[in-house]
Amino acid sequence: MLKNYEELSEMHIDVLREIGNIGAGNAATALATILDEKVEISLPVVKITDFDTAVRALGGAESMTVGVLVSFFGEANGMIMFLLKMEDAKKVMSILLRDYEEEDEDAEEISEMKLSAIREIGNILGSSYINSIATLTGLQINLTVPYIAIDMAGALMSVPIIEFGAVGDKIMFIEEVFSGSENNLRSNVIMFAQIDTLKLIMERLGLEI
Amino acid sequence: MSQTLVIGISDYAVSQKPNILVTYALGSCVGICLYDSKLQIGGLSHIMLPDSGQFSHQEINRMKFADTAIVDMVKEMRALGCDLRRITAKIAGGARMFQVQPGSQIGSIGDRNVDSVKQILSSLHIPILAEETRKNYGRTVYFDLGTGVMKVHSLNKKIAEV
């Protein structure tokens, strides 16, 4: 009986990795449409890892990070969080809003317009993953509106961990590099699914659990 | 020689002067500093969840929950000679990191963590001398066992020393 992420077998992790790959592919397509430029995506690295390792990959617990959080519910329940280092977030904002006048590059405050642009990107990427799960499994999954925060990486990442604290201390951590014509962006997605949801996904895909 | 001990998430440590205890990036988690000023012995705990009660049927990490972590940390301090009547507390964290719709479950855990920590400290008759809690930002806590000062650092550059 599967109780937490630690008990997933190599085969289960392969399935999650494949879901991650398909999700990342969808995300790259969506990004290319929005940014109006060719976007290539590296093969995402999908890991089941502990909190500290994931935080280190983001540059340490205190590094300034943009997080976009989407909850999913329905036949599958969990949270997905899209994380971008501040420097990468600024690149995304400048590409998205390149036709707008730039008021002050070094402004401490990030304008509502920029925040909303990043929130939308996070939303699209999050939805891409959930779509890949829904498509593969036929499960009915709904999404909440996206929430955004800019703060310490560790403080942001603790939010889904706390919500699903009973599932164990491991998380599914996906790292991918999006390459556009001029910029490379490294982004991370962490996904938390309720253990029942994980079981259901595996069952629907015909795997013993 | 002063040593800096790093406390991870769902972890705690007890030490003595001149060491410094630090825990990084508390979001809705709560950091609890306990101190016996006479012996200059103290502890710092980084809890994630308010109450171990609903998980009692399974094996738990006692350092993850406010109720079990505080009790264990006090026990460890008393084993080093601290007098419960002298132990005082300073707490930080319990933020609401995402501004979610009212009524949503997601935002409330920080508040519940702070409430639970206060209730447990009060049941042990441990006074709270200072707190830097709730609101909407992450915090790093430095606890100096030489002075009992808790320094709270956040990204918007406000540093509070209490």
Among B106, B109, B112, B113, the strongest candidate for a mutation testing the A interface, having the largest count of A CBs within 10 A, is B106
ipTM surpasses cut 0.95: no
**What is the arithmetic mean of pLDDT over A179-185?**
75
Which residue matches tokens 């109780």? A3
| B56: nearest CA partner in chain A | A166
Higher-confidence position of B55 and A73: A73
Nearest to A165 by CA among A49, A52, A16, A4: A4
Instruction: Give the residue with greater pLDDT, A7 vs B70.
Output: B70
Which of the four pLDDT bands, split at 50, 70 and 90, describes residue A103? Answer: low
What percentage of chain A exceeds 90 in pLDDT? 18
Nearest Cβ partner for A62 among B99, B106, B140: B140
Q: Where are the domains of chain A?
A: 5-204
Residue A206, pLDDT above cutoff 60: yes
Instruction: Give B101 or A129, the one with higher predicted confidence.
Output: A129
What angle do helix axes A112-137 and A86-96 make, rounded to 10 degrees? 100
Residue of chain B minimizing CA distance to A157: B27
Residue B124 to residue B120: CA distance in whole angstroms: 6
Q: Give the Cα separation of A68 and B79 in Å (integer).
A: 45
At A67 the pLDDT is 94
Return d(Cα A166, Cα A176) in angstroms, integer.
28
Task: Please indicate whether, in this complex, the C-beta atoms of A152 and B155 are within 8 angstroms of each other.
Answer: yes
| Residue B31 confidence (pLDDT) above 90 | yes
Q: What is the pLDDT of residue B105?
A: 62
Percent of chain B with pLDDT over 70: 94
Q: Is A105 helix (H, G, I), strand (E, B) or coil?
A: coil
Q: Letter for the amino acid at A25?
A: G
pLDDT at A108 over 70: no
pLDDT at residue number A125: 81
pLDDT value of position A90 = 83
Mutate to test the interface with A, among B24, B56, B109 (most CBs of A within 10 A): B24
Query: Which residues of chain A are within 8 Å of residue B61 when distances are taken between CB atoms?
Result: 169
**Nearest beta carbon to residue B97 from set A61, A149, A166:** A149
For chain B, list the domains and their CATH numbers.
4-161 (3.30.1330.200)
pLDDT in the model for residue A167: 57
Cβ within 8 Å, pair B98-A51? no
Give pLDDT, residue B18.
Answer: 97
> Please, which pLDDT band fits residue B64 given cuts at 50, 70 and 90?
very high
Per-residue model confidence (pLDDT) at position B47: 96
Chain A contact for B45 (CB, 8 A cutoff):
no
Mean per-residue pLDDT over chain B, rounded: 93
Is A71 within 8 Å of B48 when comparing Cβ atoms? no
Q: Which pLDDT value is given to residue A168?
A: 62
Kindly list the residues from chain A whose CB atom is less than 8 angstroms away from the CB atom of residue B8.
51-52
Most confident of A11-15, B41-45, B106-110: B41-45
For residue B79, give the H/E element and its range: helix B66-79
pLDDT over threshold 90, residue A187: no
**Is the pLDDT assigned to residue B59 strictly greater than 80?**
no
Asked whether residue B121 carries a pLDDT value surpassing 70, the answer given is yes
CATH 3.40.50.300 is the classification of domain A5-204: no
Active-site residues of B, by number, are 29
**What is the DSSP code string of B117-138?**
HHHHHHHTT--EEEEEE-TT--
Q: pLDDT per residue over B80-99, tens digit each? A: 999 999 999 999 999 999 98
- For chain B, what percent of residues have pLDDT higher than 90? 81
| Encoded tokens for B125 | 């008759």
CB contact under 8 A, B25 and A69: no
- Mutate one of A79, A83, A159 to test the B interface: name it (highest B CB count within 10 A): A159
Question: Taking residues A120-125, what's their average pLDDT?
Answer: 85
The answer, yes or no, to whether residue B30 has pLDDT greater than 90, is yes
Asked, as a colleague might, if the bond just before B18 is cis with ω within 30 of 0, I would say yes
The mean of the pLDDT values for chain A is: 82
pLDDT at residue A200 greater than cutoff 60: yes
Contact B106 A159 (CB under 8 A): yes
Half-sphere exposure of A129 (CA within 13 A, CB side): 32
- A145, A78 contact by CB (below 8 A): no
Q: Give the range among A39-48, A93-102, B135-144 with minimum mean pLDDT.
A: A93-102
Q: Identify the residue with better confidence: A172 or B32.
A: B32
Least confident of A54-58, A167-171, A175-179: A167-171
Secondary structure letter of residue A154 according to DSSP: H
- Long-range Cβ pairs for the range B114-121 (8 Å, 24+): B114/B30, B115/B50, B116/B50, B116/B51, B116/B66, B116/B67, B117/B30, B117/B32, B117/B47, B117/B50, B117/B66, B117/B70, B117/B91, B118/B91, B120/B66, B120/B67, B120/B70, B120/B71, B121/B32, B121/B70, B121/B89, B121/B91
Phi and psi, residue B4, nearest 5°: -105, 120
Flag if B10 and A169 touch (Cβ within 8 Å). yes
Torsion (CA) A36, A38, A39, A42 in degrees, nearest 10: 180
- Beta-bridged to residue A41, according to DSSP, are A178
Over 70: is that where the pLDDT of A124 sits? Answer: yes
